[in-house]
Structure 1
Amino acid sequence: MRRLAALFMLTLLGACSTVDDLSPLSPSSSSSPTVVVRAPRFEDSKPHEWDSGAPWNYAVHGTDVSKYQTSVDWPTAKASGISFAFIKATEGGDRFDEYFNEHWARTKAAGVPRAAYHFFYFCTPAAQQARWFIQNVPVDRSAMPPVLDMEWNPKSPTCRLRPDAATVRAEMTTFLQIVERHYGKKPIIYTSVDFFDDNELSTFRGYPYWLRSVAGHPREKYGSHPFTFWQYTGTGIVPGMTGKSDINVFNGSEAAWNKWLRQNTR
């Protein structure tokens, strides 16, 4: 009798199952880069009084680093709420950030999604700069898309050239197209308010933007221009990082962030 009852239950369970129930998880499900986010509110050594659109209203925060951040405890930074990092790799056509390889390896080891960025130099052709970036930044499908950093550099000891807006946009297009073909990902553009306005970048569409705005929400400084990331301070205090830190947010919820990662880190 017990044997008959057991057979009956197995038959019933089998009838209630579907093909999807019995199929193994797909590779994309098992290898999803979902990141747990703490929605932190970091301290700031020179805080801005936010009237509206405060950065801590955003769930996902990250940082950006270069050779000036020589010692970062990435596991501690991640535990404090750092969910991504932008890492300087190159500048112009011949400068390589000496801490890039260390930051690149240690962020990956800590499970912090990261992207490499290039600082544009107006005295070197864009194609040459793109080749220099490609020479120094390995193809890593798990990395976020590469970043082109576009801003004026009036304190440069070697190049203070300020081309006209049409030339700037043409050079940007050259760099972005070469890099996108190589890495297979649409690059992100980082810029500041003055550079954005001077070069009419409101007309330069088709790329995700990472906007600097430390004295107001991006909608106050860039109008309705869409953005994916917002750099809201350069004087933040992040556990695991010494000195003042740049802090950024992703423009979306935690769910939107994980969706963006799945789409851009494969």
Structure 2
Amino acid sequence: MKLSRCLAVLALLALAACGGSSGPPAEPGVLFPARFGDTDPVDFANPKPSRFAVHGIDAARFQKSINWSTARRNGVNFAFLKATEGGDLLDPSFKSHWRGAGRAGMYRGAYHFYYFCTAPEVQAAWFIRNVPRSAGALPPVLDMEWNPFSPTCAHVRPPAAEVRAQMRKWLRIVEAHYGQRPIIYTTPKFFSENGLGLFQGYDFWLRTTAKTPAEAYPGQNWTFWQYTATGSVPGIVGEVDLNAFGGSAAAWDAWVARRAAP
């Protein structure tokens, strides 16, 4: 084997070992069928997640090794990546995940985990400081759920009207900066306790891993469904959250054309 070829092979293996994108990126916009598994599958009522044409993942520091090119070719058509928490925490894997997904030609978006012990203006500024404005990026996401594990904020649970007021401040600031109306991510408990159905004109990304969205959020429209936290995807070491887009392949193309950053 020629030296140049040996070096190329070694470089490719090293990149894969680091969780990079091996091989040339797939052409942007090409959809791949989901070849996913699940270590703890649920037998959902109809519609089952498999009925949907477009699937993706969300990832954070817990996904330490991702071969983005392999993952994309096995059905990860989009990825939401954790960027920030509160007003001073940056996910340590955000930058590498953002680069890797981009190099693989994958649609990618960033999300912010909200803390109720920090002003919404401070949190919005922190997210803006750390998440670039990139052509083709999906809208930013506001992750709204109670956090029982925070040593400083677990006990801070404002009344529903105050929760919605803080959300509106964050959403307005971030939308003005990116020129995209953010997506709202939430859980059944948080949604019902805080009246998030009052937010009109927003895309919702709903977590429900035991019931369908129609069962867990009666009457609520949704764009993305996070249907398991125990997914397995070729190219990703360990378990990962799996998500479905709530429409056809043609609807996905139309949604991306309308909502992705120019």
TM-score range, shorter-chain basis? 0.7 to 0.9
Equivalent residues of 1:41, 1:56 under 8 A apart: no
Instruction: Give aligned-pair identity as a percent.
Output: 51
- For residue 151 of structure 1, what is the aligned residue in structure 2? 145
Tell me how large the CA RMSD over aligned residues is.
1.1
Give the alignment partner of residue 117 of structure 1, picking from 111, 114, 120.
111
Match of 1:88 in 2: 82
How far off is 1:34 after superposition? 6.0
Per the normalisation by structure 2, the TM-score is 0.87
Instruction: Report if the CA contact (8 A) 1:34-1:261 is conserved.
Output: no
2:60 is aligned to 66
Post-superposition shift, 1:260?
1.1
Partner of residue 130 from structure 1, selected from 124, 128, 143: 124
TM-score for the superposition, normalised by structure 1:
0.86
Q: Which runs of 5+ in 1 are unaligned?
A: 1-32
1:26-105 equivalence runs, <5 A: 35-40=29-34, 42-105=36-99
Residue of 215, 222, 230 corresponding to 1:235: 230
For 2:158, the equivalent position in structure 1 comes to 163
The superposition leaves residues 2-27 of structure 1 with CA deviations (integer Å, 9 ceiling, x where unpaired) of xxxxxxxxxxxxxxxxxxxxxxxxxx
Structure 1 or 2, whichever has the larger Rg, is: 1
**Distance (whole Å) between structure 2 residues aligned to residue 40 and residue 91 of structure 1:** 30
1:38 and 1:89 mapped to 2: Cα distance?
26
SS of corresponding position for 2:197: helix
Q: Distance in 2 between matches of 1:186 and 1:262?
A: 14
Separation in 1, partners of 2:222, 2:158 = 25
Write the letter of the residue equivalent to 2:31.
V
Unaligned residue ranges in structure 2 (runs of 5+): 1-26
Amino acid corresponding to residue 172 of structure 2 in structure 1 = Q
Partner of 2:212: 217
Partner of 1:205: 200
Q: Which residue identity lines up with residue 29 of structure 2 in the other structure?
A: V
The superposition leaves residues 46-73 of structure 1 with CA deviations (integer Å, 9 ceiling, x where unpaired) of 0111232100000000000011111100
From the superposition, tell whether residues 79 and 34 of structure 1 become closer, same or farther in structure 2 (CA, over 3 Å). Answer: closer
